[in-house]
Structure 1
Amino acid sequence: MRQRFASLIQHSGFWILIAAAVGVVCGLLNIPAINDLATGIGELFIRLLKLVSTPIIFFSVLSTLCGMGNLQQAGRLGGRVIRYTLLTTVIAATIALSLFLILDPAGGLSTPPEANPAQNAPQTGYWQYALNIVPESFLTPFVEGQVISVLFLALIFSLAILSIPDERRQRLQVLFDDIFAAVMKLTSGILKLLPAGVWAFVTTFVVSLGQDDVGRQLALYFACIVLANLVQAMVVLPLLLSLKGLSPWQIFRGMLPALTVAFFAKSSSAALPVAMEAAKDRLGVSSRVARFSFPLCTTINMNACAGFILITVLFVSMLNGMSFSTAELIAWIAIATIAAVGNAGVPMGCFLLASTLLATMNVPIELMGVILPVYALIDMLESAINVWSDACVTCIVDRESAEEERASDASAA
């Protein structure tokens, strides 16, 4: 019994649960000094995670692709990740549209007084967004935390390295592997502070619950988004795992530390180091797949974001007098999918992107200020579901890659 208890307290999950419980108590006490301490520790922990997140993305993709040896092998792995990313994101947007039409949150509310269009709102189109992916300086994406630009740099460098002679490529691969190992060693040290970070996140979250007021007029809107996310997380993704012969419960338990960080940090990028470690150490995902799939998924696999963008844009637009035909509603599935793929996994990323889309449509965005307190809660759920989707895609890709390798070895024998 003593040995079992000693083994339990050495497990990181035990201390995370203890930290969360203490955080609930501290949040309910609502002592200003403790609140300030929790805010400071939470901000410090998020900064430390963001400090290593962009180097992890760059060097993990670079070292993994350089080790593949040819473009064909890299294309197969990347193709699988992108295929399941698009599949799950389209399904998420479709579920969101279906629930929006069933619950009809905009129909149950009165139209607010007419407001002037947001004339000064940024009118950024997708062409400009695509141009912004290509940085003017190599260091700019790392300094500003531009995740998708970091991924772009890693991919073009990898393609260039794969085209040079094998001798030089192998030397670079060893170099990048060593740098990546050093970055992950630093990450392991940061992750030892995870219980302190969870305590800080839970404390500030419980305090904020007493300050946010979700109005009755937003109840259907809130329910629509939450239901869409829960259906995606608890039905669609587990079903996809089961079809591939994987255990959803086992994968959920293995990824629990990463899901906890994503939930309270409200950032899938901040949870990236924890997610990669959990997938490799707790689920046995191959290092090659985890180091390639998670950085790519963190950048483009935003299931929950697609649902939020679709529901929010339709909700705010309809409240401002706009109407949509059946064809236009279906088109919004594609628009929300594209927007989610282009969204960075940072706090409030979906909210800002939805606001930009509304401004581009010349829809008054004053209502987004009313939605903001609700989004503080939605953002936490979305971040966790995005990381859960990343884990599901990664595990499926790992299973298919392993099966392909076994079939190749069998045919060679």
Structure 2
Amino acid sequence: MSNRFTQYILIAMALGIVMGSLVFNYLPDSRGEIAADVNLIAMLFLRLIKMIIAPLVFATLVGGIAHMGSGSKLGRIFAKTMGWFVTASFVSLLLGLIMVNLLQPGANFPGTLPAAGQSTGLQTSAFSIEKFLTHLIPTSIADAMAQNEILQIVIFAIFFAVAMGAMPERSKPMLALIDDLGHIMLKVTGYVMLFAPLAVWAAIMATVAKNGLGVLWKLIVFMGGFYLSLAILWGILVAVGFIVIGPRYSHLLRLIREPLMIAFSTASSEAAYPKTLEGLNRFGASSRTSSFVLPLGYSFNLDGTMMYCTFAAIFIAQSYHIEMSLGTQLAMLATLMITSKGVAGVPRASLVVIASTLSQFNIPEAGLLMIMGIDTFLDMGRSATNVIGNSLATAVVAKWEGELAQMDATGPDEELVPGNIPALGHG
């Protein structure tokens, strides 16, 4: 069934491109209206995903932490996880910096540059360290769940689970209830994912129908350089996976191909969260680890987004012929390392981070207008990269903690249903 589902998604992507191109080329007067109507299907799917994210994260995370036992184990996993995230973010930012300097995509930009003072309309004031720190703590868990604030749900779930661990006898009925909730949410996830191919078709068709594939040619050098850089980053991530996990890592790559395609076609890593979690459980990563590391990764380990930040920022500087010394570029890297961690919940997060960073280095924020038109096509690559980065991080931490089963919970091609996976928290 898994292979068939993958085929459905590939067919949906191909149909979306063909039908979107036909609409763009032959129905120019209606393309906007048609794109909006078709995109409604993709938006409904993303809303279904958002509907299940909060209870899924809460149930799997609380169940996983409560089964961990000692608080010292939680602290150790947290330290290893954050250490990996910081290292991966630095490598991604540095790779983007190296590649944009080697390729020089903005050196001979053929188009007309936007006026330096032109506004992008981005709310760059949405980010500050103070706002990030206060944003970490939910004022109400109900509000955090209603707004799908994953980081806030994680904070509350950690406190809740640690408290349960401190009262093992009293919390047994609650833990059984939460374990059952986790299994039910995985079943709901299975139902929601039946609509994924339809959503993939709609998302691709709407994007192509509205923008056309011709828009890519205007910035083909920039896009080509960015996707080449992403390919190198994928190569690094895959190489590290084989070094740390061994030949078995190839099985994980097969298990996450569906969430990769969902993330790519919908330009949303969040849409791939349930399938990524499922793939990690099938791979043998204990739900103790995967339900803790994966949600944190969605706030702190966005490898594709990190690389895009340095690549796009230096591209804009090159386009405006602004010379930046190595020291200045490294200072920008350090700035992005900090600011990029504080945009959880900020719409169009990567663009906001880049815009706020450009202003600090006297680079025209208006330069973003050049690439905002193709940002969806770029976001597709970023989202897919975020999925592979977070699945690798989870598998590696599970390996380090001895929480990676020697054999998968199911055969390599057997479809996983919630009843087939080990009880949440028992790996």
Task: Specify if TM > 0.5.
Answer: yes
Q: Secondary structure at the match of 1:108?
A: coil
Residues 129, 342 of structure 2: 8 Å contact kept: no
Equivalent in the alignment of 2:336? 336
Is the counterpart of residue 16 in structure 1 residue 9 in structure 2? yes
Residues 263, 384 of structure 1: 8 Å contact kept: yes
What does the per-residue CA deviation read over 1:44-79, in whole Å, with 9 as the maximum and x for residues that have no partner? 111100111122222222221111111112223233
Distance in 2 (alpha carbons) for counterparts of 1:16 and 1:214: 23
1:125 deviates by 2.2
Letter in 1 for 2:154: L
1:12 deviates by 2.1
Letter in 2 for 1:12: F
Equivalent in the alignment of 2:418? none
What does the per-residue CA deviation read over 1:83-126, in whole Å, with 9 as the maximum and x for residues that have no partner? 22222221111111111222233443487654278899643422
Residues 280, 286 of structure 1: 8 Å contact kept: yes
Letter in 1 for 2:17: V
Residues 89, 301 of structure 2: 8 Å contact kept: yes
Equivalent in the alignment of 2:414? none
Equivalent in the alignment of 1:204? 206
Distance in 2 (alpha carbons) for counterparts of 1:309 and 1:52: 30
Equivalent in the alignment of 1:400? 400
Equivalent in the alignment of 1:89? 89
Unaligned runs of 5+ in 1: 1-6, 407-413
Residues 212, 374 of structure 1: 8 Å contact kept: no
Residues 293, 394 of structure 2: 8 Å contact kept: yes
Q: Secondary structure at the match of 2:271?
A: coil
Q: 1:159 aligns with which of 116, 137, 162?
A: 162
Letter in 2 for 1:373: G
Residues 42, 203 of structure 2: 8 Å contact kept: yes
Distance in 1 (alpha carbons) for counterparts of 2:216 and 2:180: 49
- 1:130/1:318 Cα in 2 relative to 1: closer, same or farther (>3 Å)? farther
Equivalent in the alignment of 2:19? 26
1:132 deviates by 2.1
Equivalent in the alignment of 2:370? 370
Distance in 1 (alpha carbons) for counterparts of 2:121 and 2:288: 48
Distance in 1 (alpha carbons) for counterparts of 2:121 and 2:22: 44
CA RMSD, 1 decimal: 3.1
Distance in 2 (alpha carbons) for counterparts of 1:14 and 1:397: 31
Residues 286, 403 of structure 2: 8 Å contact kept: no
Distance in 1 (alpha carbons) for counterparts of 2:186 and 2:2: 25
Q: How does 1:6-405 map to 2 (within 5 A)?
A: 11-30=4-23, 35=35, 38-109=38-109, 113-115=115-117, 122-123=124-125, 124-162=127-165, 164-210=166-212, 213-214=215-216, 216=218, 218-233=219-234, 235-244=235-244, 245-281=246-282, 283-317=283-317, 319=319, 323-344=323-344, 348-359=348-359, 363-402=363-402
Q: Which moved more, 1:15-24 or 1:341-350?
A: 341-350
- 1:118/1:22 Cα in 2 relative to 1: closer, same or farther (>3 Å)? closer
- 1:336/1:248 Cα in 2 relative to 1: closer, same or farther (>3 Å)? farther
Q: Which moved more, 1:88-97 or 1:248-257?
A: 248-257
Q: Secondary structure at the match of 2:402?
A: helix
Letter in 1 for 2:195: L
Distance in 1 (alpha carbons) for counterparts of 2:114 and 2:20: 36
Residues 92, 228 of structure 1: 8 Å contact kept: no
Distance in 1 (alpha carbons) for counterparts of 2:2 and 2:222: 42
Letter in 1 for 2:152: S
- 1:325/1:402 Cα in 2 relative to 1: closer, same or farther (>3 Å)? same
Distance in 1 (alpha carbons) for counterparts of 2:113 and 2:21: 37
Letter in 1 for 2:193: L
Higher relative contact order (CA 8 A, sep 6+): 2
What does the per-residue CA deviation read over 1:10-69, in whole Å, with 9 as the maximum and x for residues that have no partner? x32233233333333432332768755532211111110011112222222222111111
Letter in 2 for 1:143: A
Residues 284, 405 of structure 2: 8 Å contact kept: no
